Amino acid sequence: MTVKVGIVGYGTIGKRVADAVMKMDDMELIGVIKQTPDYESEVAISKGIKLYTYEDRVGKFEKAGIKVAGGTINDLIKNVDVIIDATPDGVGAENRAKIYEQLG
């Protein structure tokens, strides 16, 4: 069985987690969440990682010319078995209450 993984946050920690997941035979990286259309977004895309973002950020990515191929965080969560939250301290707890618990 292959575990489908989504990563929220593709910064210092998230990049390393994504690289590790991609090396695992029993895991599939479905995509990562970025909230800022920056260099790290382009790095993810260059590695073949599907980019997702928050609903209110899609326009920023389009304006920057960066394709959000996966969709929004809700789309990512619906397509994975496991979410790894690699956001800064305290943000994961907020995400749990605002997003993860609401989506089950």
The pTM (predicted TM-score) of the whole model is: 0.91
Q: Which domain holds residue 89?
A: 3-100
Among 57, 12, 55, 15, which Cα is nearest to 32's?
15
The stretch 12-39 carries a mean pLDDT of 96
Quick one: pLDDT band at residue 84, thresholds 50, 70, 90? Answer: very high
Q: What CATH number is attached to the domain comprising 53?
A: 3.40.50.720
Q: Has residue 104 got a pLDDT over 90?
A: no
Q: What is the DSSP string of 12-69?
A: HHHHHHHHHHHH-TTEEEEEEE-SS-SHHHHHHHHTTPPEEE-GGGHHHHHHHT----
Q: What is the mean pLDDT of residues 35-60?
A: 94
What is the count of structural domains for the chain? 1
